[in-house]
Amino acid sequence: MKINLSPQERPDRLELCRQGDVLLFNGEATDLRDLVGKEEIEHPWIAGPVREVGGSLCVTVILPHGPDAPLDTRYPSAIELTEDGNVPLPAFSR
């Protein structure tokens, strides 16, 4: 699974966990397979369509951060996941 991050300065926080094709956003499960191919997705943490590329899911997730977030949070790299568990996100603030 590939997760692209879309940084936004906002006060709420995000904890993200992967369980197969399911992402848990602050404990709430979303099965990404159900969203593949849908152009419009109404989800508070997903920005844009979910795609399947070469058998792997690709999703863009909103990354909240504080006003003093470090550069690696404001300009994050994509995250490639090969196993289940907590997703390491860049720091919310310094």
Cα 90 to Cα 18: distance, rounded to the nearest angstrom: 16
Cα 38 to Cα 84: distance, rounded to the nearest angstrom: 24
Q: Is 59 exposed, middle or buried (0-12, 13-18, 19+ CB in 10 A)?
A: buried
With respect to residue 90, please indicate whether it lies within any of the assigned structural domains: no
Tens of pLDDT, residues 52-71: 999 999 999 999 999 999 99
Does residue 71 sit in helix, strand or coil?
A: helix
| Domain region containing 35 | 2-85
Alpha helices (runs of H) in the chain, residue ranges in sequence order: 71-74
With respect to residue 52, please indicate whether it lies within any of the assigned structural domains: yes
With respect to residue 43, please indicate whether it lies within any of the assigned structural domains: yes
With respect to residue 78, please indicate whether it lies within any of the assigned structural domains: yes
What is the total count of domains within the chain? 1
- The answer to whether residue 41 scores a pLDDT higher than 90 is yes
Tens of pLDDT, residues 9-23: 999 999 999 999 999
